[in-house]
Amino acid sequence: MVPTFGAVLHLGNEYTTEPTEVILTDLDFVVLGRNVLNKFYLTLDGPEQEGTLRSVRDTSG
């Protein structure tokens, strides 16, 4: 059995997720699942090395 924890993800001052069940790993990075990512639009521009993240509730842009 793997211990789980509740976490709230804060992205800047604009976005806060609902509490989400998470597990501790030995990885040096975070893996986000679709239950979190489905709430955001993520746009990555490789040549410009830029990215944007906005909430699906955000009607601008």
Q: Give the domain ranges of the chain.
A: 4-55
Better pLDDT: 11 or 8: 8
The reported pLDDT for the residue numbered 58 is 65
Question: Are 17 and 8 in contact, with CB atoms under 8 Å apart?
Answer: yes
Alpha-carbon Rg for the chain in angstroms: 14
Tens-digit pLDDT profile for residues 20-52: 889 988 889 888 888 888 888 889 999 999 998
More confident residue, 46 or 18: 46
In this structure, are strands 50-55 and 15-16 parallel, antiparallel, or unpaired? unpaired
Secondary structure letter of residue 41 according to DSSP: E
pTM: 0.54
* pLDDT value, residue 1: 84
